[in-house]
Structures are given as structure tokens and as C-alpha cells.
Amino acid sequence: MFPLNAWYVACMAHEIDERPLGRKVCDLALVFYRGAGGAVAALEDFCPHRGAPLSLGRVVEGKLVCGYHGLEMGCDGKTIAMPGQRVRGFPAVRSFPVVERHGFVWVWPGEAALADPATIPDCPWTGKPDWAYGGGMYHVGCDYRLMIDNLMDLTHETYVHANSIGQKEIDQTPSTTQAVGDAVTTSRFIDGIEAPPFWKMALRGNGLPDDQRVDRWQVCHFTPPGQVLIEVGVALAGRGGYAADAPSKVSSIVVDFITPETGQSIWYFWGMARNFKAGDAALTAAIREGQSKIFAEDLEILERQQRNLQDWPQRELLKLNIDAGGVQARRVLERLVARERAGRA
């Protein structure tokens, strides 16, 4: 259950090189490649001749050439040519709106006429020299909503990430949740605590002491269909916390783009953007490595959770106060899906 009339991250821009890239998004098998001039195109991953995946072919002078019999496809999905054959009358395969922006390739799997590039989520750190970004991608065997639940309730950090960013004060401090339109925000502010290992490393990286008490914050912003940006950081205690001056804190945006592959699997694009020591490549690499390990700790939990839910589909799940962010996000998604279904009907 996912909205189709929405922009999803299909891949990172560098994943599309001189070869086509096959990737399933929202249960649709797609092929991405760079046409003439380097612009990205997206088609059904289906050759109209014999049904072979076009992603097994190659790109020649901006045309996608099927790797089975050499049929050539245009970026609009129309057949251009085939050696020794007359194929101009072949029906076109479906093409999809696609935009390369913020270092990602975004695809719109729904009605093409509704696709507006202006609605692609903003990434405020891109193109700014005082910001640095490092990230990656995981393929995870779970419903995309389980990942959104995970990111909108960070109480699990105490247990899943006990040796990196977790600490007992997280689940001892209540969070607040606010829903405005299709956006949901969950916030938690924790004062006067010892920084956990990951944040001690970040403090040292910014030239701050790691043995003093800190004020910590987590502000999770969900926007549909699968974007969760989390403002995180610590400031030396008593300096204003979230609002502290830059020299007294380390703060970042945890970047999460969740794209359904199927109903039980996702492409998870993760990263961290920071606006301190932006030119320190070694610090960027260290933060990326630390964050990669943190996210890897979630994978087993989510995949085993998915299998449990499939094995016991009749079980009713309980809800607690800490689930408010995930519950509100699911309501947004349900509204969008219901609206699309009503439109098709």
C-alpha cells in the first residue's frame, strides 16, 4: 500500500553510468539510463519484442539497445529501430517522469500528467559549501511503513543502538508529536546528560570537549511518501540546547528516503548532512562509517519483524504513546492512497 502519484528516490545519480540500471519501484520493474546529452530516462524494463529486460542491454549514442536481439528504444518508450526489421509500428512501452536532483534520481510511478518537479522535496544542504554530506543505500526486506515507524520513534535507540547513539535517558524522556496537513513532526529534548559514543566522536571532530554534560535533541520530520529528515545534535549543557550558538554544539540532519521496492522490501537511502567542519573529509568519512553501522543495526530487527508479521497476520499490534509519530504518518499515507483509488474509480 503506497501512493503512486509521488516522487520517490530511485537511485543515487552515480549509480547510472554508461550501462542501464534495472530497479523495481512500487512493484514496477523499471530501467534507468542516460540518453542523449546525459539526461536520465526511465522506461518499463520490458522489451516489446520478446519481453526481455531492457536493463540487460546497453546504451549506444543515447539509445537503449536490448541485449537480446538489438531492438533500439527511445527515451519516450517508442521503438526506434532493429537490425534488418521494420519496427516503427511497435506499441510504445511506458515511460516515467524522472528528474535528477540533489544527487539522487527521482521517479514518479503514477499518472505522468500529475508529475510536478517543483514538488520534489527540498534538500537544504545541497550546493552549499558550508555543508557536508555522506551517505549510502541499503536494500531491506521490510514493508516501507515499518522503516517509517522506526524513524519516527527513536525510543528504540536505547536498545538497538546501545553502543553508539542509544542511552537510557531517551526512553525516560517523553516526546511530542504534531501533525499539520500531510507533515508529521515528533520531537524529544533531553538536558544535562552524558553524550553517547557517536556524539562524543562528533564533539571531538568539532574541537569541543567530549567529557562535559550536554543537551541533546531529536526532531523527526515526516513528509510523504517516504521522506524522514531528523534534526539531531548535542550542545554543551546550559548553552541553549537546540538553539545554542554554532561554536557550542554539533548538529546534523539525518537524511532518510524510503522507497518501496515491493510490499515487503525497500530501497533505503540514508545519509547525514552537517554544517560544521564541512571541509574535513576525514570527519565526513568517520561520520558516514559510524552512521552506516548504526543503520545496519536496524536491519535485522526490521527484517525479522516483517517475517513475524507475515507469519502471524491475524495478530493485532499494540500501540503506545511513543508510536504517535508512526501512527500519524500511516494515516497520511492511508489518506493519499484512498484519494488515488477514489480518483481511479
| Order of all β-strands in the sheet with 98-101 | 8-12, 104-107, 98-101
pLDDT at 345 over 70: no
* DSSP code per residue over 268-299: EEEEEEESSSTT-HHHHHHHHHHHHHHHHHHH
Q: What is the pLDDT of residues 214-226, one digit of tens each?
A: 999 999 999 999 9
Neighbours of 112 (CB within 10 A): 12
Identify the residue with better confidence: 124 or 29. 29
Q: Hey, CA dihedral for 226, 139, 97, 112, is it positive or negative?
A: negative
Q: List Cα–Cα distances, 117 to 112, 121, 122, in angstroms.
A: 11, 9, 11
Predicted local confidence at residue 138, as pLDDT: 95
| 260 or 290, higher pLDDT | 260
Distances (CA, A) of 159 to 156, 171, 318, 335: 5, 10, 19, 32
Alpha-carbon distance of 7 to 177, in angstroms, equals 25
CB 78 within 8 A of CB 92: yes
- At 156-176, the pLDDT tens digits run 888 888 788 888 888 899 999
Mean pLDDT throughout 118-132?
91
DSSP string, 201-252: HHHHHTT--SSS-EEEEEEEEEETTTEEEEEEEEEETTS-GGG--GGGEEEE
Contact 43, 30 (CB under 8 A): yes
Q: Determine the pLDDT at residue 87.
A: 67
In the predicted model, is pLDDT for residue 127 greater than 90?
no
| Cβ atoms of residues 230 and 251 within 8 Å | no
pLDDT tens digits, residue range 301-336?
999 999 999 999 999 888 888 889 999 999 999 999
Whether residue 337 has pLDDT greater than 70: yes
**What 3-state DSSP class applies to 64?**
strand
Integer CA distances (angstroms), 130 to 125, 126, 199, 280, in order: 8, 10, 20, 11
List, edge to edge, every strand of the sheet that includes 79-81: 58-60, 63-65, 72-73, 79-81
* The amino acid at 218: Q
Phi-psi map region of 118: left, alpha, beta (phi>0 left; psi -120 to 50 alpha): alpha
**Mean pLDDT, to the nearest integer, of 278-297?**
89
pLDDT in tens, 235-245: 999 999 999 99
Q: Which helix H or strand E contains 328, and what residues bound it?
A: helix 324-344
3-state secondary structure 141-160: CCCHHHHHHHHHCHHHHHHH
The pTM is what? 0.93
Q: Residue 132 is inside which H or E element, if any?
A: strand 132-140
DSSP 130: T
Specify whether the CB–CB gap between 99 and 120 falls below 8 A.
yes
